[in-house]
Structure 1
Amino acid sequence: MSEDGATSTINDSVESLIKMLDAADSLPGVARLRARSYELLRPAPGAAVVDVGCGTGRAVAEMSDGGARAIGVDVSEQMVTVAKRRRPDLDVRLGGAYALPLEDGEVVGYRADKVYHALDDPARALAEATRVLAPGGRVVLMGQDWDTFVIDSDDSALTRTIVHARADVVPSPRAARRYRNLLLDAGFEDLSVEVHTAIFTDSLMLPMLSGIAQVARSAGAISEDETERWTTEQTIRGQEGRLFCALPLFVAAASRP
């Protein structure tokens, strides 16, 4: 493949991800969960907050519109480009969770939504959060536990195999259940943990379900026949309005001493 072809493939992949994220972020329950994360941050008007793994900047825009001085950081140059194109007024920067482009104590709020499961060392990212947070600053971590996807199926054993096989290829699949202990280990105080469960009963989640089955197949956990059989069942369920997929999302909040 030519260099231009490789770039086009990457761009197409990111564009597909953006479309999926836009659709998910527009759901009422997801919007309410974002609003809850802003409440837990408790930023004063004009206070600086950072959204780590900001993607296309939806949360950065919402926090900015709410009066905070929001800063977005994402490791993907393409995501940063899209965020700036959508809202040129936003402060969105290129950077990773282990080395944020911020000064010591620069922000009073730190938000990371569906980020820590993608990191091989969540504790290191939280140490960086401690560095950039001012004393008394707030941290909010949000995300799903990849071992606790609840999916109805005629073959529960196969479903368990698929879910666990998908979890096993995530760098830190159980980071969400560790949020509280990670925060305790890092010395944070005033801890709280909430769970908000998103339930899907139509075809919206079919691309995700098909995706986890394909990952399980690629990992050698299930056969091609099992992949097709399970995906077909879920597709029929989605078409008939009988699909059931529940994703528990954990929200942990704490204060820096």
Structure 2
Amino acid sequence: MAEHNFLAGLRLGAGDTCVDVGCGDGGATAELVRAHVKAIGVDPDPAVIAAASARTPGAVFHVAHSGDLPLEDESVDGYHAANLFHLLPDPLPTLAEAQRVLRPGGRIALIGQDYGFLMLDSDDQDLTDVIGLGLESRWVAPRAARSYRDLLLGTGFDEVEVRVHARVTTDYGQLADDLAEAASASVKKALITREDADGWLAEQADRGRRDRFLGIAPILMVTGTR
């Protein structure tokens, strides 16, 4: 839902301009171009900007941080940021930049997973909840997405709307690496033992082999008007 409906949330038309902040390899930027929107991709990583430029030559790309955009005041109609705010120790400089570059009446769409909630089926739900804390520890602000509405209202955006999509995964292989890292992080934080971690991972892998694996994560999209 969120990844594919952000264009509707931004209410952009052909010829409008939108900045994709934290664009990564440019997937959303490419979608903007396909919708005949003038797209600007921004990311602090030169390598991913190079990949995004090759992927979507019809867009403009900049190597820059979300808190210091190389754009003029009130120069864009839309602002899109997906999977960004859980990486930010302080979201306010980034939101101040969004306010600065958006034209009056421009729209913002923030998209992200709340890493404080990942539902996993398990024979030991208490242990699973503890390992969830290990998953959170991988991010600077793992629960940032649940604060999107408050942040937008607090920084002057209007017409703030929240949509939630449950991302369902029944393929253990898609999450195997993340779960292994979460379990190891829980051991490192002395929340569980290595034996606990290995036993839990073995159970999840067995669920995968038997087609009994289930993971559900909430993806939030919050939109607003400048």
TM-score normalised by the chain length of structure 2: 0.95
Equivalent in the alignment of 1:196: 165
Equivalent in the alignment of 2:16: 47
Distance in 1 of aligned mates of 2:68 and 2:39: 18
Residue 126 of structure 1 aligns to which amino acid in structure 2? Answer: L
Equivalent in the alignment of 2:183: 213
Equivalent in the alignment of 2:120: 151
> When the two structures are aligned, how many residues end up with a matched partner?
225
Question: Any gaps of 5 or more consecutive residues in structure 1?
Answer: 1-31
Equivalent in the alignment of 2:199: 229
**Superposed counterparts of 1:57-68, under 5 Å:** 57-68=26-37
Structure 2 residue corresponding to 1:171, chosen from 129, 140, 146: 140
The answer to whether the Cα contact below 8 Å between 1:57 and 1:92 also exists between their aligned partners in 2 is no
Cα RMSD of the aligned pairs, angstroms, is 1.3
173-182 vs 203-212, greater mean Cα deviation: 203-212
The answer to whether the Cα contact below 8 Å between 2:2 and 2:111 also exists between their aligned partners in 1 is no
The answer to whether the Cα contact below 8 Å between 1:206 and 1:238 also exists between their aligned partners in 2 is no
Structure 1 residue corresponding to 2:106, chosen from 137, 141, 144: 137
Percent of aligned pairs sharing the same letter: 37
Structure 2 SS opposite 1:147: coil
RCO comparison, higher one (Cα < 8 Å, 6+): 2
32-41 vs 61-70, greater mean Cα deviation: 32-41
Deviation at residue 223 of structure 1 after TM alignment: 1.8
Structure 2 residue corresponding to 1:70, chosen from 39, 60, 66: 39
124-133 vs 86-95, greater mean Cα deviation: 86-95
Distance in 2 of aligned mates of 1:128 and 1:61: 23
Equivalent in the alignment of 2:81: 112
Structure 2 residue corresponding to 1:247, chosen from 217, 222, 225: 217
**Superposed counterparts of 1:6-21, under 5 Å:** none
The answer to whether the Cα contact below 8 Å between 1:49 and 1:68 also exists between their aligned partners in 2 is yes
The answer to whether the Cα contact below 8 Å between 2:164 and 2:220 also exists between their aligned partners in 1 is yes
Question: Any gaps of 5 or more consecutive residues in structure 2?
Answer: none
Residue 218 of structure 2 aligns to which amino acid in structure 1? Answer: P
TM-score normalised by the chain length of structure 1: 0.84
Does 1:33 pair with 2:39?
no
Equivalent in the alignment of 2:92: 123
Listed one character per residue, the Cα deviations across residues 158-182 of structure 1 (whole Å, up to 9, x for unaligned) are: 1111112321442111111111110
| Higher-helix-fraction structure | 1
Equivalent in the alignment of 2:49: 80
